[in-house]
Amino acid sequence: MIVYKRSNLLVATLLLGFILLLPDVHAMPSFSRQTGLACSNCHVQSFGPGLTPTGRNFKLNGYTATGNTDSKLKYIPPISAMIRGSFTNTIKDQPDGAADRFGRNNNATIDEASVFYAGRIAPKMGAFIQGTYGGVEDKWELDNTDIRIVDNNDIGGNNFVYGVSANNSPSVSDLWNTTPVWGFPYSSSDLAPTPSAGPLIDTFGGQVIGATGYVMWKNLLYIEAGGYTMLPKNAQKAVGTFDSEQNRISGGSPYWRVALQHDWNGHYGMVGAYGLQANVNPQRLQGTGTDSYYDYGFDTTYQYLRNLAHIFEFNATYIREQRDMNASVALGFAEKRYSSLDTARIRVGYTYLQTYGLSLFYSQMSGTKDNIIFSSEEPISGSRTGKPNSQAFTAEISYTPFGKSASTLSTLANLRIAAQYTHYFQFNGGINNYDGFGRQAIGNDTLYINGWLAF
């Protein structure tokens, strides 16, 4: 095991060294190749999920915008790739190892390596399709997928953008960085303990298939609605997302989203709401009825973009989940039939020259006590109190050297290096001996350093 950890560390060190010597790389991300725009036009920090109004508009219009006049590039398919490597340290070791094949602490790994089809398919059709190799689980899977058909029209002098998204996860189609798929933290460690509880809307990525229709009126009012159903078991296995203990949607699951946005000369604001309802078979077991979940969330975003040398951001979201655990109680998987879970997430961000970033993030979870759902049977992941309550603060600094309009590397390979520290005030319902095996919440504090390269 010691040899394995050292070899992992050596790989990560060599990878980081390679990344830092990349100013002569000439492979271009497909979106930049298609539009001729630098990454900084669409991304606040010139890289990653955080979008500017230009980036949101590009996604809204189905990834179809063009603009690159280089005729040599028009026959190149919109293929891109990405790799992310990292190092993870926790205050206390994980006695059984952070994951299969990994040591108790100080683990280095390739978090993920992805290949994308990302861009225009036809004048009114585009796609973002991601296939990912996960280095921790050591497997390939079909990751975030969003295929769109979109058009626009003027009715009575009012512009409408309308379209359909076929996708594989609730909120993967969303334009803002507040919903589960694209919310902060944009990257986090798979080798550190995380709270056991979470809303249902966070859990179905890649296991479902669905479609939503949407409309944006006058660049002001956004409405989206649709539904999801579970991919068949064999299909989930084929795309690498099958989990034998995951809840299974029974029938269809409606999803909706509404938002109001406006830009006041560089002061951008949005307020919105979204929700998901699902009846599920707990752990895929049938014959005792279903559990019923209703998640509804409220979110807001503010961006100061008037002076791009100094960008300020504020994001907040609150999700309320109400549960009727009828089937779980009958199966002995839950103590109480009716319960709830509340999740709050707040981020404040500052970006200098679209190169240097600072994010401060607070998350809190609380809910109904249930000694079966949140049991103390397992060290680290258990709850001695039977409560899901957790509180954490995360600070992240990042550096994105490329991707600016004034740079000769503006449409070439891009890179993001980040250091992130997460402190837990409370974990799985407690502070001291929260799991019943003597572990403290602070023992799960995590230092996560990662390098993220796209080309």
pLDDT in tens, 171-200: 999 999 999 999 999 999 999 999 999 999
Share of the chain above pLDDT 90, in %: 79
For residues 317 and 299, the answer to whether their CB atoms sit within 8 Å is yes
Going 423 to 429 to 431 to 436, the CA torsion angle's sign is negative
Q: Are the C-beta atoms of 47 and 82 separated by less than 8 Å?
A: no
Position with higher pLDDT, 376 vs 2: 376
User: Residue 17: is its pLDDT beyond 70?
Assistant: no
pLDDT for 1 beyond 50: no
Beta-ladder partners of 308 = none
237 C-beta neighbours (distance < 10 Å), count: 11
Domain count for the chain, please give it: 1
H-helix or E-strand containing 11?
helix 2-20
| Average pLDDT of the chain, as a whole number | 90
In angstroms, the CA 178 to CA 224 distance is 16
Q: Which residues contact 72 (CB under 8 A, 6 or more apart)?
A: none
Average of per-residue pLDDT across 268-283 = 97
Q: Give the pLDDT mean for 241-254.
A: 92
Tell me if 390 sits within 8 A of 417, measured CB to CB: no
Closest CA to 193 of 295, 286, 89, 41: 89
- Say if CB 336 and CB 325 are below 8 A apart: yes
Query: CB count, 10 Å around CB of 90?
Result: 23
Confidence band of 24 (pLDDT split at 50, 70, 90): very low
State the residue range of the domain holding 412: 2-454
pLDDT band at 74 (very low <50, low <70, confident <90, very high): low
pLDDT for residue 10:
42
Q: Could you tell me the pLDDT band of residue 205, with boundaries at 50, 70 and 90?
A: confident
The tokens describing 247, both together, are 């809840």
DSSP assigned state of 442:
G
- Separation of alpha carbons 373 and 366, rounded Å: 14
Tell me the backbone φ, ψ of residue 30, rounded to 5 degrees.
Answer: -65, -35
Query: pLDDT tens digits for 380-437?
Result: 999 999 999 999 999 999 999 988 876 555 555 789 999 999 999 999 999 999 999 9
DSSP string, 298-340: EEEEEEE-SSTTEEEEEEEEEEEEEEE-HHHHHHTS-S-SEEE
Report the predicted TM-score, pTM, of the whole model to 2 decimal places: 0.90
CA gyration radius, the chain: 22
Token pair for residue 12? 């990560």
- What is the Cα–Cα distance from 291 to 275, expressed in whole angstroms? 17
99: pLDDT strictly greater than 80: yes
Per DSSP, the residues of 22-53 read: -TT-----HHHHHH---HHHHBTTSSSS-B-H
pLDDT of residue 250: 94
Confidence tier at 455 by pLDDT (50, 70, 90):
confident
Q: How many helices (H) and strands (E) does the chain have?
A: 6, 17
Average pLDDT score over residue span 116-133 = 94
Three-state SS at 2? helix
Q: How far apart are CA 194 and CA 186, in angstroms?
A: 15
pLDDT digits (tens, 9 = 90+) for 422-449: 999 999 999 999 999 999 999 999 999 9
Query: Under 8 Å CB-to-CB from 373, ≥6 apart: which residues?
Result: 328, 333, 334, 335, 339, 388
Domain CATH number, residue 203: 2.40.160.10
Nearest to residue 398, comparing CAs of 14, 52, 48, 21?
Answer: 48
